[in-house]
Structure formats: structure tokens, C-alpha cells
Structure 1
């Protein structure tokens, strides 16, 4: 009887164990390349090429990091990437949240048509917009400046859509009560809307920062000065068609990951909450 009760209480125990094992194996497969990359950054080029199957450094060395910091203006590139990614993220958070607020809580002519156009632009590949963006940047005199990586990215159609969906779930009665108390539109936006869409803000922060941080094509097109390059271009700097400094490349790749991990750790709570709320809708 006891065994029967245990089986009834845990009818999916075996299936759950199998799922956990499969997910564990998948996690190992995902993490393994990153572990190999970090460990390879402490190896010499000779050790990496001769002992491909081994991950453990023999001997341990910091020559890769030394090369990354001395052979190129890595610190300058790092500052450029942090500045561009942070600036674009902050601007996108503001433009997306305030535009989503307008579409969610206000009525105006052609509202649905305009929002439909915004949704339609999300289906346009970014490669199609490169020539128009380049012409705009050139016309504004921003070519070969960090502003060329910021101005075309200040508005995110996905961000507007995401914020609108979250803001629509906030009861209109809250906004109406605030207006009765004499609150203005910006006060309602700053004190009522923003605190209630923190999961959305956290998710959008991670998506936007990661997208800008990993952007390779736009800096390649918009910049031609080595001092103004960003970190994705740095990875290409340490390799060529015939010979690559593998140790330095792995060191740069490891350093490039650090800010992304910091941003994810800072906003992971809001990100996970946002995923949970999206699944409940």
C-alpha cells in the first residue's frame, strides 16, 4: 500500500528526473565553450595549437591578457563600447516607455494605424536599413564619430511594443485618480507607470545592452578610426587570414563577456519576472 501511495503521489517522478538530466547535459554543452575560452586565455599559443583536446593551461600564463592590453588600444575600445551601449540603452528605455505609455493610455487619430506601422517595421531586416542610416549619419556630420552608433538606435520598435503591452495591464483608474489629485502626465508616467513596469524595463535593458554590445556591422560601416572602434572589432584585430594570436583573442573574448554578465546579474530578477508575467498573459 505504501509503494502504491508513493507512485500515486509522484506519477511524473521518472519523467521529471529524465528532464532534469537532459537539461543538465544541455547546460554543460552550453557552458563548456565558455569554460574552454576562459581557460584558453591563460594558455600560450603553442599550448593551444598542440593540445587542442586539453582545456587545462600548461603552463598558466597572462601573455594573452598582456598582448590584449599592449598590442592595441583595448582600454579605449572598452570605454567606447561601454559608452555607446549604456547611452543607447538609457535612451531606448526612455523613448520606448514613454511612447508605450502614449499608445497604451491615450486616444488620438490614427492610433491603431500608426502602431500597425511600428509593428510592420519590426519585420524589416536591419541590413535593409544600413544604407538609409549611413546616409542620415553622413548628412548629420556624425560619420566616424561615436554618435553614428547612437543616433540611429535611439528608438526601438520592439521596445515600444513591449512597453505598450505591459502598460496596458495597469488599471486606468490609477491614472485617473492621480489626475483628480492634480498630477500631470509626466508625473503619472514617472511615479505610476515606471514603477509598475520594472520587469519590462529589466528585460528591455538586457536585450538592448546585449544587442549594442555585440554589434559588429554598424561600427564596421560607420567608423574608420582605430581609436573610435568598439570591442567586437577588437576580436577581428587580433586575428588575420593566415595567423591568429589565439591566446590574446581568447583573453579579449573573456573580457568582452564581463560587462554583459554584470548587466544580466543586475537585472536578472526583473528579467525572470518579466518572462513569468509574459507567460501568464
Structure 2
């Protein structure tokens, strides 16, 4: 009596089951989806969060009459680029964009440099009061900006930086979050790599630059993206520290499109699209590194 095989016949090469197409059945007979089951939940949630951006983009190509109509139009009757022409035709818009770019880029570079130096010192060096200093630094993250803006304004006034881009740059040169995030990531790196470099005669600074920082690109990308996002979108502090329109940032300049009695909503929407675009591109470019850094920086406390 010969034994019969209960396994299903092997599918020929190039068949649907071999290619892993949609609706493929596994060897156990279960229907295997071409994507994770979590996507069925995450896809509607992603669409829900994307609705404001989609509405912003649609409204930017509407006329003022369509935007102000009640009930509001869900789709423009025709593509109207009047808002974009009004924004780009404003003589101050390129200046505002350049101001925001200068402030954001300087803040990103300074946070990467000073955050890496401070984070490495807290992660690898033990000195008197290091833990206390770390706790005090983290405690400043719990203080709301409303409590510190007046002292910050007085300091900037004493330095003579009010109504200049320096008043926006100096308070953002380094943040406790950048130091903390980089410290957490540095703690997850093996010490053996640094010890081997010390044996070869490398100094601490050289070890940081040549070994630690190249391995910390995910954390550096995260700090860069979050710093750029917070600085680029900041409105409260520029509103306090800047008076002259030539020193306006992009967010502050967009408020001039809204008047007391009349608002050009098409220009406001178009300006916001142009403002969101650099941040969106920066996040998409660093998305993989961003997620990798968030998961890695929590390995050690």
C-alpha cells in the first residue's frame, strides 16, 4: 500500500501564487493578502489626516467668490490661479521666504552641532553634577513659552537684536530636545567602536566626528526635520520680536493678507500651500531616518 501525498500540487513557475499576487492562498489554504491587515485600518486614518491638506490645495485654486460661498463648494468650477499670482506678485514675498529659510537653516545647523556636542558629553562623559544638569535641562522643556517670552525679549533687547533676524536665530541655536534625543541615540551605540578608536590614538572630538556621527544619521535627520519644522512654522516669537516688514518671516508675512474688513482667502490658501511644501518635502525625504531614530533612541534610558 503506497502513501499518497496530501500536499497540493506545486504551482507552475510564473503563476499567480508564485508571484504573490492579490488573493493568493498559502499552503495552509488561508487567503493571504498582498499587504498587512493593519493597512485596512491605517489607510482610512491616513486619508482622514490628509483631508485638511487636500482641502487647502483645492481651495488655493478657487476664486474668492467660490471660497466665500455658502454652502461651500467642494470642487472648483474652474482652476483659478489668482491667489498664486497675487502671492508671487507681492514684492515682499521672496524676502519673507528668504528670511524664513535663513532662520531655519541656521537653527538646524546650530542644533546639529551643539546638540551633538552636548548629547555626546551627557552620554559618554561623567562629570560632577552631570545628572543634575541633565534633569534641569529636561525640566526646561516643561516650561511653556508664554512664561519665557518676556525675559527672552528683554535679553534680545539688551543685545540690540530686536527687529533683526538675530532675535529669531539666537533663542533657537540649541534646544533641550535636540540634546536629549541625540544623547539617547548615542547611548544605543556600542562603546567598543569608540574604545578601539581611543586605542588608535583618536581624541574624543575625533571619535565623535569620524565614528559616532556617521552612525547617527537617523537621529541627526530627526533633529534636523523637527527643528526645521518648528522654526519654519513659528509665528508667536516673530510677531513679538519683529516690527519692520522687511524682516518678516513667511508665517508673519502671510498674516498681512488678512485685513480687518476684507481677506483674500485665495491668496491665504495659496500662500499656505507654498509654506507647507518645503516642510512636507523635508519630512518625506527624511521619513525613513525619522522613524528609525524614534525607535532606536528609546533602547536605553
Fold agreement, TM-score > 0.5: yes
Q: 1:89 aligns with which of 79, 104, 108?
A: 108
What is the CA distance between 1:184 and its match in structure 2?
A: 1.6
**Are the equivalent residues in 2 in contact too, given 1:63–1:248 (CA < 8 A)?**
yes
Q: How does 1:1-281 map to 2 (within 5 A)?
A: 5-6=28-29, 17=37, 19-50=38-69, 52-71=71-90, 73-278=92-297
**Are the equivalent residues in 2 in contact too, given 1:104–1:167 (CA < 8 A)?**
yes
What do residues 226-250 of structure 1 show as CA deviations (whole Å, max 9, x unaligned)? 0110111123111124321011001
What is the CA distance between 1:279 and its match in structure 2?
A: 6.1
Give the whole-Å Cα distance in 1 for the aligned partners of 2:71 and 2:193: 62
**Are the equivalent residues in 1 in contact too, given 2:184–2:297 (CA < 8 A)?**
no
* Structure 1 unmatched ranges of 5 or more: none
Give the whole-Å Cα distance in 1 for the aligned partners of 2:272 and 2:138: 35
Match of 2:17 in 1: none
Give the whole-Å Cα distance in 1 for the aligned partners of 2:46 and 2:269: 21
Ranges of 4+ aligned residues in structure 1 off by more than 3 Å: 19-22, 278-281
What is the SS of the residue equivalent to 1:150?
Answer: helix
Indicate how the Cα distance of structure 1 residues 164 and 267 shifts in structure 2: closer, same or farther if over 3 A, else same.
same
What is the SS of the residue equivalent to 2:286?
Answer: helix
More helix by share: 1
* Structure 2 unmatched ranges of 5 or more: 1-5, 9-24
**Are the equivalent residues in 1 in contact too, given 2:181–2:297 (CA < 8 A)?**
no
What is the CA distance between 1:56 and its match in structure 2?
A: 2.4
Give the whole-Å Cα distance in 2 for the aligned partners of 1:185 and 1:278: 21
What is the SS of the residue equivalent to 1:178?
Answer: helix
**Are the equivalent residues in 1 in contact too, given 2:66–2:72 (CA < 8 A)?**
no
What is the CA distance between 1:213 and its match in structure 2?
A: 0.6
Normalising by structure 1, report the TM-score: 0.90
**Are the equivalent residues in 1 in contact too, given 2:188–2:297 (CA < 8 A)?**
no
**Are the equivalent residues in 1 in contact too, given 2:87–2:267 (CA < 8 A)?**
yes
Total equivalences in the alignment: 275
Q: Which has the larger radius of gyration?
A: 2
